[in-house]
């Protein structure tokens, strides 16, 4: 391959906050473009999230069916949650979410992937973990099931069946698609995974 040209410095020339909510902030950035001039980019800032591929000893993956208002439908998802607890390491957030949503703990944790959900307009980064050696636990003290979680169902599905559901279009949540396919690859080829504390 030919050498890549020197990258352009995409400097932010101005920022206007359009909206600030409980989870997200929308900024309008004016950005310097290659060849001169500038362009406006709308950017959604998000605290980030974690997702967990919880695989039991029989090779079944834990999936949730949860209603998602923006798409107006129920989606099959992994246990997951926002990185909204100040100072909490991502793997600890993953452990907490696994206990809160599906009442499970795991003996072994690995970092499968790190991805940006939709980098064309949003800075949300999701860390997807593999959790193995599952055991039942109580929900953390003080956690209350509310809103859409009251209507959430939990199922276990053989990993191979979950992979097929990705290709059938039944599993559409991006973290679930990434996590299920990555876990299947781990089982098939045992690639080298990053340290659980990596980002």
**pLDDT tens, position by position, 39-93:** 999 999 999 999 999 999 999 999 999 999 999 999 999 999 999 988 999 999 9
Closest to 175 measured CA to CA, from 101, 124, 139, 108: 124
Q: Distance between CA 33 and CA 31 in Å, rounded?
A: 6
Q: ∠ CA 120-126-131 to the nearest 5 degrees? A: 155
Paired strand residues for 61: 55, 157
Query: Is the predicted pLDDT of residue 196 greater than 80, yes or no?
Result: yes
Dump pLDDT digits (tens) for 3-47: 677 788 899 999 999 999 999 999 999 999 998 999 999 999 999
In 10 A of CB 23, how many CB atoms?
A: 11
- Please state at what angle helix 159-167 crosses helix 174-189, rounded to 10 degrees: 130
C-beta separation of 46 from 27 below 8 A: no
Q: CA 157, 160, 166, 169 torsion: positive or negative? A: negative
pLDDT in the model for residue 27: 98
The enclosing H or E element of 111 equals strand 104-116
Q: Catalytic residue positions? A: 149
Q: What are phi and psi of 21, to 5 degrees?
A: -115, -165
Query: Is the predicted pLDDT of residue 137 greater than 60, yes or no?
Result: yes
Q: Distance between CA 125 and CA 175 in Å, rounded?
A: 10
Paired strand residues for 155: 63
Mean pLDDT score across all residues of the chain: 94
Query: Is the predicted pLDDT of residue 145 greater than 80, yes or no?
Result: no
Six token digits for residue 42: 């709308």
pLDDT in the model for residue 1: 55
Query: Is the predicted pLDDT of residue 149 greater than 80, yes or no?
Result: no
pLDDT in the model for residue 2: 62
Six token digits for residue 132: 């193995």
C-beta separation of 92 from 14 below 8 A: no
**165-194: average pLDDT:** 97
CATH number of 49-189: 3.90.79.10
pLDDT in the model for residue 4: 72
C-beta separation of 52 from 97 below 8 A: yes
Query: What residue segments make up the domains of the chain, in order of their start?
Result: 12-45, 49-189
Query: Is the predicted pLDDT of residue 130 greater than 60, yes or no?
Result: yes
**114-127: average pLDDT:** 97
């Amino acid at each position: 391959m030919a050498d890549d040209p020197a990258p352009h410095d995409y400097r932010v020339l101005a920022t206007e906050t359009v909206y600030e909510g409980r989870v997200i902030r929308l900024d309008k950035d004016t950005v310097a473009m290659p060849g001169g001039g500038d362009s406006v980019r709308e950017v959604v800032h998000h605290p980030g999230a974690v997702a967990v591929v919880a695989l039991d000893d029989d090779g079944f993956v834990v999936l949730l069916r949860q209603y998602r208002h923006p798409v107006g439908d129920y989606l099959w998802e992994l246990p997951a949650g926002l990185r909204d607890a100040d100072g909490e390491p991502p793997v600890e957030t993953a452990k907490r979410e696994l206990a809160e949503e599906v009442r499970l703990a795991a003996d072994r944790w690995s970092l499968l992937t790190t991805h940006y959900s939709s980098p064309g307009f949003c800075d949300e980064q999701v860390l997807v973990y593999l959790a193995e050696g599952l055991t039942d636990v109580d929900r953390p003290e003080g956690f209350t099931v509310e809103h859409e979680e009251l209507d959430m169902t939990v199922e276990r599905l053989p990993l191979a069946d979950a992979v097929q559901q990705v290709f059938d279009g039944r599993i559409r949540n991006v973290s679930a698609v990434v996590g299920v396919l990555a876990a299947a690859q781990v089982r098939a080829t045992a690639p080298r995974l990053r340290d659980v504390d990596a980002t």
